[in-house]
Structure 1
């Protein structure tokens, strides 16, 4: 798997950035350190000035890659969901049983993420923490409809629709496949958050994972 991922270039909507950060050492440094800084201080406290200090570069150099920190967060989230999409593809390829395929897919989108060493400048485990805490800020904005038209959330929607397709394969008569798929993906992020911060309102803990919960849910809901 590591060798496969090392040969893949993750695609992000080119409208999100001014200059592709993957094309230069500085761009990759911006991505690497922005992930670490954003996880450390939070998106609201994150600024390009603080990032510039961290990477020993002028704030203006960051603006040559991204218009603002919202676009940077969109880039990070798009990269993350594209990476998840690749993981989904490899996890479900050559799995014949439809229910086993769905369980493998749900595991990919709900499990605890570990760093993928094939992507040296991106720590997926840390990026996952940002997605858990900050992802809704990418679309809970007044510009969401326009950004949706621009295709900023296309990769995220593709991931959900992959799950929709697998749900339909398991039970074609189930009428709420889209709602179930989006609930699994959004809900798993929320359950990870609750497990880490608001432990008394979730059953997920060191023994029960969000993956356990959502696999139990699909067994209950979809099995005839």
Structure 2
């Protein structure tokens, strides 16, 4: 299993990028260092010029991979959702009890992320911080509908569908499975954000985690 995971490739919708950054050393350095730089200075202050300085390359070389920093953020978000989906499938496929499977899924998508050694050029722990703080900027735009039609968010939607199917496996008559699934996925990020920045308006502190909250929610709701 370990050998299999070591050759696993995370796939991102091809229309997001101009050239697949996974196909070259420069592309991987662009992705690796964009994560570090966005985490350091924030997405608003992030520019390809600053990234080029950080990796010792011309700004124009980055544009050969991504047409804008918005597309780069979409790439990072899609990569994260694909990686999360792989974690979700890996950790739930052998669980036959539907309630246990759903609880495990909720744990996977709401827990604090730890680095995965199978992807050496991407620090998942830092990427997760970007997802918590910045990922909504990848779709809260005027172009979201056209980008959705182009398939930019297919992985994100697929993760939500997987969770909704697990919800229905527990209670086939529950009428809001997709709404609950999307609430858990986005709510987990939001609770982690509140825990970090607005602790006075969340109970997720002092040993209580977002995972505890959402497992309590599904157990009482379903």
Return the alpha-carbon distance in structure 1 between the equivalents of residues 202 and 99 of structure 2.
26
Partner residue, 1:139: 139
Q: TM-score, normalised by structure 2?
A: 0.98
How far did residue 2 of structure 1 move? 4.8
Give the superposed CA RMSD: 0.9
How far did residue 86 of structure 1 move? 0.6
Give the SS at the match of 1:45: coil
For the Cα contact (< 8 Å) 1:2–1:117, is it kept in 2?
Answer: no
Return the alpha-carbon distance in structure 2 between the equivalents of residues 210 and 84 of structure 1.
17
**Structure 1 unaligned runs (5+)?**
none
Q: C-alpha deviations, 1:30-59, integer Å up to 9, x for none?
A: 000000000111111100000000001100
Partner residue, 1:15: 15
For the Cα contact (< 8 Å) 1:30–1:55, is it kept in 2?
Answer: yes
Q: C-alpha deviations, 1:4-37, integer Å up to 9, x for none?
A: 4321111111110010000000000000000000
Return the alpha-carbon distance in structure 2 between the equivalents of residues 218 and 2 of structure 1.
32
Give the SS at the match of 2:205: coil
Determine if the alignment matches structure 1 residue 122 to structure 2 residue 122: yes
**Structure 2 unaligned runs (5+)?**
none
Any runs of at least 4 consecutive aligned residues in structure 1 with deviations exceeding 3 A, and if so which?
A: 1-4
Partner residue, 2:195: 195
Partner residue, 1:39: 39
Determine if the alignment matches structure 1 residue 111 to structure 2 residue 111: yes
Q: Give matches, 1:61-210, under 5 Å.
A: 61-210=61-210
Return the alpha-carbon distance in structure 2 between the equivalents of residues 91 and 4 of structure 1.
15
Return the alpha-carbon distance in structure 1 between the equivalents of residues 93 and 17 of structure 2.
32
Return the alpha-carbon distance in structure 2 between the equivalents of residues 185 and 134 of structure 1.
15
Return the alpha-carbon distance in structure 1 between the equivalents of residues 2 and 54 of structure 2.
29
